[in-house]
């Protein structure tokens, strides 16, 4: 029987045929006669990944198994891409190694070797925790081995997190930005949301000057009234497609495209530090403005969707403390003025 007569993934192998699906790490000898009911039953099971496939116990096999797991399949698309980026690095350096031979000090050394980029170094450790958990689930690691990636101290973010854009950077960006980059900027400032949610915003999610949506990272439903400034700006935007942000033909654009737009504008600015201010910093600008307007933590969270006070401390920084302290002392002054005198 020729290859053209065999179904997908099935190849002639001496006196038998072999099912080979490299993306899943499958290579199974099929002894049934092609075309028979027994052959098709076996073939359909292999397509569904039902038959256990003997594999070498190495990181290559572990990674392929993890990609087929429900845990990976349930991740958000952006998170999947992030995981794949760092898993690819692990695959390159340890692909042929047995996971049981990797100890905590190996992962610690990997973490320290990437110290120059602290966020990426931390992400490598976090991905290793996930992979080693999966290694236990599929029997590559014994329970008594524990998870060698757990307990490694991560690098701390310096300062109060993302840096807000100063007024002079904002002013120059507003003057130079072409329509799509300026629209992204206004949406980030006006809503205080992550750029990943901004690019998914649809016109039919907007009603009566408010945005009704679910945050991609947290799965938290939010309803956010737009600021007067944002409402005025959106009134000037042409509706080209289903999403608010589109390409020239009205099609949705990916996060990477928008990020490139923003970098291109900053690269052409006169401000010497323009490139150091990332788009996510605009979320911090919005948080700070909410505090400067006199809002408390709960009101700020209602707009930004932050889940707790710790994250608000990072985003609100000293502005949050100053505004809360001012209101506390004003309340104290009123109490002092109104308390009965003896």
> Consecutive 10-residue runs of the chain (342 residues): their mean pLDDT?
77 83 81 85 82 69 92 87 92 92 94 88 95 92 85 76 89 97 97 94 94 89 94 95 95 93 96 93 92 87 83 73 81 84 65
Q: Decide if 152 is inside a domain.
A: no
Strand partners, 206: 211
Q: Decide if 259 is inside a domain.
A: yes
Shared domain check, 321 and 181: yes
- Please enumerate in sequence order all residues whose Cβ is within 8 A of that of 49, keeping only pairs 6 or more positions apart, or say none: 24, 26, 68
| Residue-level pLDDT at 249 | 94
Shared domain check, 193 and 260: yes
Shared domain check, 323 and 178: yes
Q: Measured between alpha carbons, how far is 224 from 212 in angstroms, rounded to an integer?
A: 7
Shared domain check, 301 and 233: yes
Which pair of structure tokens corresponds to residue 219?
């799965």
Shared domain check, 294 and 220: yes
| Residue-level pLDDT at 51 | 56
Q: What is the DSSP string of 163-189?
A: PPPPHHHHHHHHHH--HHHHHHHHHHH
What's the whole-model pTM score?
0.63
Shared domain check, 305 and 171: yes
Which pair of structure tokens corresponds to residue 288?
């700070």
32 alpha carbon, distance to own chain's centre: 45
Last residue of a domain, one of 145, 179, 196: 145
Shared domain check, 273 and 200: yes
| Residue-level pLDDT at 131 | 96
Q: Count other C-beta atoms under 10 Å from residue 244's C-beta.
A: 22
Helix, strand or coil, per DSSP, at residue 211: strand
Asked if 182 and 262 touch (Cβ cutoff 8 Å), the reply is no
Helix, strand or coil, per DSSP, at residue 52: coil
Shared domain check, 193 and 134: no
Q: Decide if 83 is inside a domain.
A: yes
Q: Decide if 154 is inside a domain.
A: no
Phi and psi at 211, nearest 5°, equal -110, 120
CA 296 to each of CA 131, 305, 327: distance values in angstroms, whole numbers, following the listed order: 41, 14, 10
Residue 186: domain span: 167-329
Q: Decide if 161 is inside a domain.
A: no
Terminal Cα distance for the chain, rounded? 107
| Residue-level pLDDT at 89 | 93
Shared domain check, 280 and 205: yes
| Residue-level pLDDT at 339 | 80
| Residue-level pLDDT at 49 | 75
Phi and psi at 95, nearest 5°, equal -50, -40
Shared domain check, 198 and 106: no
Q: Count other C-beta atoms under 10 Å from residue 336's C-beta.
A: 8
Shared domain check, 182 and 94: no
Closest CA to 201 of 224, 174, 233: 224
Q: Decide if 304 is inside a domain.
A: yes
| Residue-level pLDDT at 161 | 58
Q: Decide if 52 is inside a domain.
A: no
| Residue-level pLDDT at 160 | 52
Q: Decide if 335 is inside a domain.
A: no
- For the chain, how many structural domains are there in total? 3
Shared domain check, 65 and 198: no
| Residue-level pLDDT at 92 | 92
| Residue-level pLDDT at 217 | 82
């Amino acid at each position: 029987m020729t290859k053209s007569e065999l179904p997908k993934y099935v190849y002639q192998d001496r006196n038998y045929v072999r099912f080979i699906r490299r993306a899943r790490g499958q290579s199974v000898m099929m002894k049934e006669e092609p075309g028979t009911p027994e052959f098709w039953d076996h073939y359909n099971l292999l397509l569904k990944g039902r038959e256990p496939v003997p594999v070498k116990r190495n990181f290559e096999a572990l990674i392929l198994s993890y990609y087929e797991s429900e845990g990976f399949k349930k991740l958000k698309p952006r998170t999947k891409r992030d995981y794949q980026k760092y898993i690819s690095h692990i695959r390159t350096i340890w692909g042929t190694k047995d996971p049981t031979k990797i100890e905590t000090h190996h992962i610690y050394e990997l973490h320290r070797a990437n110290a120059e980029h602290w966020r990426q170094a931390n992400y490598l450790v976090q991905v290793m925790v996930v992979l080693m958990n999966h290694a236990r689930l599929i029997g590559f690691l014994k329970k008594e081995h524990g998870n060698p990636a757990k307990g490694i101290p991560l690098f701390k973010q310096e300062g109060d997190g993302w840096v807000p854009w100063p007024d002079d950077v904002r002013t120059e960006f507003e003057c130079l930005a072409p329509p799509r980059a300026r629209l992204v900027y206004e949406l980030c400032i006006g809503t205080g949301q992550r750029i990943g949610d901004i690019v998914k915003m649809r016109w039919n999610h907007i009603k009566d000057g408010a945005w009704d949506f679910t945050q991609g990272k947290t799965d938290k439903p939010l309803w956010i009234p737009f600021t007067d400034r944002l409402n005025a700006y959106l009134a000037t935007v042409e509706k080209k497609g289903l999403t608010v942000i589109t390409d020239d033909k009205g099609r949705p654009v990916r996060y990477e495209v928008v990020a490139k737009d923003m970098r291109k504008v900053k690269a052409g600015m006169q401000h010497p530090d323009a490139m150091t201010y990332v788009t996510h910093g605009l979320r911090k600008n919005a948080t700070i403005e909410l505090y400067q307007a006199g809002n408390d933590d709960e009101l700020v969270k209602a707009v930004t969707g932050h889940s707790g006070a710790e994250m608000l401390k990072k985003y609100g920084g000293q502005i949050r403390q100053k505004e809360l302290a001012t209101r506390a002392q004003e309340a104290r002054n009123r109490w002092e003025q109104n308390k009965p005198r003896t």
